[in-house]
Amino acid sequence: MTKTRHAVQALAFGAATALGLPSAHAQGISLPGMSPDMAETPRSSHPPLARSSHKLFDTFTTERSFLVELRPIWSRQVQDETPAEARRGFERGAPLAGELALGMALKTPYKGLFLMGQQKTLLRVIDDKSFSWSLFHQEVGGGVRLGPFEPEVRLGLSIFTADIFHAEPSLQLFSPRVSAGVGVVLGTFRLDIHGHSEYLWRWFGPDYLVRGVTIGFRFDMPKPKSPLSYD
């Protein structure tokens, strides 16, 4: 009987080895006649990284925010302009000339720096007869963290825009933008003040240059829990 029992244990051990069960044994699963010799895997909210590693826009470290931006804008026609229009320069086309932006912001902090990405939609009022809507607008940038103050610069691109200027409809693709400013972080809320310049590259009709001052508000969203968390 003793030989039979040893033979059964040897067969069981060989089968476990062939099926890759030693890793299960390391987690606390033992075969008959064997005892575990390794500690249980420690619990962790997310997989550890090397000290010099950093994941860009990682789900568990990135700060996600809902953003709302309001900005007055000044514009000037830069194509097919008359001498009088060239002399006037940038003007407020109407008392309500401005932009409204809604979207999401992603910020990845790294020591005293951070990287920023934004995706939003923009509604512009150039004057009382000129309107445009950038359905897809993207921005990327970065800055420095100085306590609650975060100066930053960003590059933007309006991928697709539909507009109508003085009864002339048009489309825009890849209209570029550059902006710079500072944000003030107050807990889960952030206030932004930026200046920007943008070139409206219209397919039909004259192009425009636009400048504006942004007042933005961001509201942080809760970070998702790791599927490896035991909490």
- Residue 195 within any structural domain of the chain: yes
For the chain, what is the mean pLDDT?
A: 81
- Residue 185 within any structural domain of the chain: yes
Residues 24 and 121 in one domain: no
d(CA 117, CA 106): 5
Task: Tell me the CATH number at 81.
Answer: 2.40.160.20
| pLDDT value, residue 62 | 84
DSSP single-letter state for residue 7: H
Residues 8 and 119 in one domain: no
Tokens 């930026």 sit on residue: 194
19: confidence class by pLDDT, cuts 50, 70, 90:
very low
Tokens 């030693």 sit on residue: 22
Residues 28 and 135 in one domain: no
**What DSSP letter does each residue of 94-127 carry, written as one string?**
STT-EEEEEEEEEEEEETTEEEEEEEEEEEEEEE
- Residue 164 within any structural domain of the chain: yes
pTM to 2 decimals? Answer: 0.70
18: confidence class by pLDDT, cuts 50, 70, 90:
very low
Of 209, 208, 204, 198, the C-alpha closest to 176 is 198
Kindly tell me if the per-residue pLDDT of 124 is higher than 90: yes
**Strand-pair partners of 116:** 107, 141
Kindly tell me if the per-residue pLDDT of 207 is higher than 90: yes
Number of H helices, E strands in the chain: 3, 8
| Mean pLDDT value across residues 173-193 | 95
Percent of the chain with pLDDT over 70: 69
- Residue 51 within any structural domain of the chain: no
Kindly tell me if the per-residue pLDDT of 87 is higher than 80: no
- Per the structure, the count of domains in the chain is 2
110: confidence class by pLDDT, cuts 50, 70, 90:
confident
Range of the domain at 181: 63-220
Residues 23 and 92 in one domain: no
Residues 96 and 142 in one domain: yes
Residues 70 and 24 in one domain: no
* Contact present, 105 and 218 (Cβ < 8 Å): yes
- Residue 78 within any structural domain of the chain: yes
| pLDDT value, residue 54 | 54
209: confidence class by pLDDT, cuts 50, 70, 90:
very high
- Residue 192 within any structural domain of the chain: yes
| pLDDT value, residue 116 | 92
1: confidence class by pLDDT, cuts 50, 70, 90:
low
- Whether the CA torsion 102, 103, 107, 113 is positive or negative: it is negative
